[in-house]
Structure formats: C-alpha cells, structure tokens
Amino acid sequence: MPQRWAMWMAVSGDLRFASHHDMMRVIERTLLRAKLPLKYSQGFSPRAIISLAFPRPVGVATHRDLLVLSLDADLLRQDLLDATNRCCPIGLSFSDAIPLEGKTTPQPIECTFQLTVPSKKIDTVQRAVEHFLSQESCNITRTKPPKRRKRRVAGQISEPVTRTLDLKLLIDNVQLNDNTLSWRQKPHQTRWAKPTEAIAALGLDPTGDMALATRTSLVFQDLNEYTGTTDEEIDREPNTT
C-alpha cells in the first residue's frame, strides 16, 4: 500500500549554501540511490512526490527540517532511515521518520534559531538586544515588486507594493548568553519574519552573519514528535492529533 512519511533531517557544512532548488535535487538523488519505492506524479514529466514542509533560508544550517515524501510500497521506519542515511552526501542526515495520514502537509507554528556572535560584535549585539526587548514595537518595511503581468497597466509602470510589519509580533524569546544569540519566530496572520530581518534587528549583518545561524528546532501543528519508537509502536499509535 502507498505510504506518506515525514522525515526529520539535518543540513550542515557547505550543503547549507545550496538553494532550495538544488537542495531538492540533492534529496531526490539521495532517495534514488537508496532505491526507495518513490511515488511519482502523473503527466508528461513525472517527478517524485517530495516536498520540504518549511524550507530553510540559504546559508542557514538546520537540525530538524521536515521532508514529506510518498512511497508506492510499505517500508518499516528503521529500514527507511537506514537506507536513506547510507546514501546521504556529507552535510545531510536523517534522524527520525513519522508515518502521515491524509494528503495535507504539516503546518509550521514556530521555529528557533541560534547564532554564535563574533567576539568583536558582542557589545553591539548586547545593546541591540536590550533595545529590541525594551520597545513596544519594532516596525520594518517590506517592498515587493509587482507581479510581472501587472507591471504595466494602461501604459504605466505599476509601483512596488510596500507593507509594514511589527517584528515584536513575529519574534520573541530573544536571549544572549555569553556569545550565543537565540530567538524564536512565530507567524502572525500567516506572515513570518525573515531570519535576515531578525538578524538585522538584533545588531548583526544580515548578509555576512547569516551563515553563522542554525535553525535548531521546528514545530508543526498536529504533528507528534517522538524518538526511539519501534515500528510496532508506530503501527499502534496515531501520528496526528
């Protein structure tokens, strides 16, 4: 019978600089080398049915990203993990797998980041963190270019769309312990803060310091996390609430 799985994976080293498109190619080739019975889409150009539930930003390492994939045959959890990890390139590994029911993709509700602050920037970051925590709001402006088909209206070039967001509604639990900076991000009205916006608000360079960040956790709605569960226990336990 077909199966859907959520697989927790970690990305580190040089692989964290891969774009989302390149990362999906790496994952697909890894699954093919593992000879998994992947399920494919229909149509002229079938592709393996795999997706990342909440793609990480380029340059950011991650401890627990969530890959959702569909298989055409039954596999046990440990067999799936062993086969995949044997074929992973350097910088990619899978730590757990959870069977999924239905066709919906798990929805993220929060994530946390951690960053080792360079010694020369600790004082600057300390002041920025104190300022951020003392404010009632921290507004930023996003500029979004118009869609290609709407750039010209009645012979005129349409203007970019601007939106103001309050980072205080999107970022909390900001802490600086010694030289380790950490923070949590949550959505507000379906909108998330970009890690570059958080880094800039906390006194760091969103371009140069982005590669120092690691996404340490990722929490999804209605998705139980467990480790060390046997395949028999998985068969007995529901995987969603």
Q: For residue 62, count CB atoms less than 10 angstroms from its CB and return exposed for 0-12, middle for 13-18, buried for 19 or more.
A: buried
> Do 43 and 10 share a domain, yes or no?
yes
| CATH number, domain containing residue 39 | 3.30.70.580
> Residue 192: pLDDT band by 50, 70, 90 thresholds?
very high
> Do 85 and 141 share a domain, yes or no?
no
> Do 70 and 129 share a domain, yes or no?
no
> Do 124 and 43 share a domain, yes or no?
no
Q: Is the pLDDT of residue 236 over 70?
A: no
From its phi and psi, is residue 18 left (phi > 0), alpha (psi between -120 and 50) or beta?
Answer: beta
Tell me how far apart the alpha carbons of residues 53 and 66 are, in angstroms, rounded to a whole number: 6
Look up the domain containing 77 and give its range.
3-106+222-236
Residue 241 lies in a domain: no
| Number of domains composing the chain | 2
> Do 84 and 143 share a domain, yes or no?
no
Contact 22, 11 (CB under 8 A): no
From its phi and psi, is residue 17 left (phi > 0), alpha (psi between -120 and 50) or beta?
Answer: alpha
pLDDT digits (tens, 9 = 90+) for 112-144: 999 999 999 999 999 999 999 999 999 999 887
> Do 28 and 10 share a domain, yes or no?
yes
Type of residue at 132: F
pLDDT at 152: 57
Tokens of 195: 């890690």
Residue 143 lies in a domain: yes
> Do 66 and 121 share a domain, yes or no?
no
